[in-house]
Amino acid sequence: LLETQRLEQRTKYDLEMLREMGYCPGIENYSRPLSQRPPGSRPWCLLDYYPDDFLMIIDESHMTVPQVRGMYHGDRSRKETLVKYGFRLPSALDNRPLGFEEFEEHIHQAIYTSATPAPYELEHSEQVVQQIIRPTGLVDPEVIVKPTEGQIDDLLGQITRRVERGERALVTTLTKRMAEDLADYLMEMGIKVHYLHSEIQTIERVEILRDLRLGVYDVVVGVNLLREGLDLPEVSLVAILDADKEGFLRSGRSLIQTVGRAARHVNGQAIMYADTITNSMQHAISETNRRRAFQTKYNQEHGIVPASIVKEIRDLTDRVRMVAEEKPEYRVGEMPRHETMRLIKELEKQMKAAAAELEFEKAAILRDQIVELRRNLEDEDVPEWERIWRLEQRRAR
């Protein structure tokens, strides 16, 4: 009875909103009746607007394809709970991602790119093209296996040698706790280090990796974040702790991806700390050595001298920095009160205009300026030296 009452109330409210406003919160859950589709039918999507002969390129396919496969089931599980307890009509189930079979029906020709292709891509590909040779002549890292006994002391020595040469290192562990504890120990030993795992916010992760390239840190210790998509030319060492612990983080493909983080440096080296060589380790080592031998032979035949990548250090927050560089500085201490009030009103207009143009970074900077100006007005009754001191403290923060 409760579920029925809740569903009736919600649906009537949404109908009233649609009638009066033309929209309602969660309108996408009514996509099936609004588009007059039959029950169980798939929704329209971007792929329907492409011609039949379009080419799809799927990057990092070993990760992307399973994610496409899992989207439907994850969405279905969540929606079934909402329907069961009377939060949504059953038609909400048809507002969903494409099933994997439906996705495949749209793909008539595709290019899958991956350093570690999964069985699906290999089975569905008419031709496999290996891109092993790099324009810089760089070869895959040398892989070394060392025993776990005394691994921390050995790791410390390896890191110290890299730091002396101005190079960087990545260390992967199996758990967040291990990453934090190891980072604390290395810090006590005088190493500039930071840990990296899923509890750290995305923007902060980017800043940590950028600081690694800049030399603020010499080492980053992580769990599963040091794999696909990381381009760190300064890294010459990748250390993998507990490499013989079979599992998702130590599968053959994961190990190859992790080892590849040192492939941008001419002195690239990967060290696996393990007491036994598992099938996954053997696969990763054999594949890396195969590529390395092919690359070395090619370089010798063509007289190529490997050279490390030289890449500009950029930041995802470049847009924010650009706006910040353009902002004018106001010497509030030299302005009369009425001039400060006039300036605040002008900045408020600029802030609203920036927000209307969807320039939210600029609007946020203007907002901070307005807040600072208002604080300065409140501080007018305090002595000059104290007001200046407070202002300097805020700037330092």
Domains 1-124 and 142-302 equal at CATH topology level = yes
Distance CA 129, CA 143 (A): 24
* Beta bridge partner(s), residue 270: 143, 238
What burial class does residue 299 get, using C-beta atoms within 10 Å of its C-beta: 0-12 exposed, 13-18 middle, 19+ buried?
middle
Distance CA 207, CA 222 (A): 14
Distance, CA of 278 to chain centre: 30
Most confident of 10-19, 154-163, 312-321, 342-351: 154-163
Q: Would you say 272 and 146 are in contact if contact means Cβ atoms under 8 Å apart? A: yes
Q: Minimal CA–CA distance to 263: which of 142, 160, 118?
A: 142
Distance, CA of 68 to chain centre: 18
Residues 6 or more apart in contact with residue 97 via CB below 8 angstroms: 71, 72, 75
Amino acid at 290: R
User: What are the pLDDT digits (tens) for 65-105?
Assistant: 999 999 999 999 999 998 888 888 999 999 999 999 999 99
Distance CA 263, CA 170 (A): 12
User: What are the domain boundaries of the chain?
Assistant: 1-124, 142-302, 334-396
> What is the pTM for the complete model shown?
0.68
User: What are the pLDDT digits (tens) for 225-251?
Assistant: 555 567 888 999 999 999 998 887 888
User: What are the pLDDT digits (tens) for 16-53?
Assistant: 988 888 888 889 999 999 999 999 899 989 999 999 89
Of the CATH numbers 3.40.50.10190, 3.90.1300.10, 3.40.50.300, 1.10.1740.10, which one belongs to the domain with range 142-302? 3.40.50.300
CA dihedral 387, 388, 390, 392 (to 10 degrees): 170
CATH fourth-level superfamily of 1-124: P-loop containing nucleotide triphosphate hydrolases (3.40.50.300)
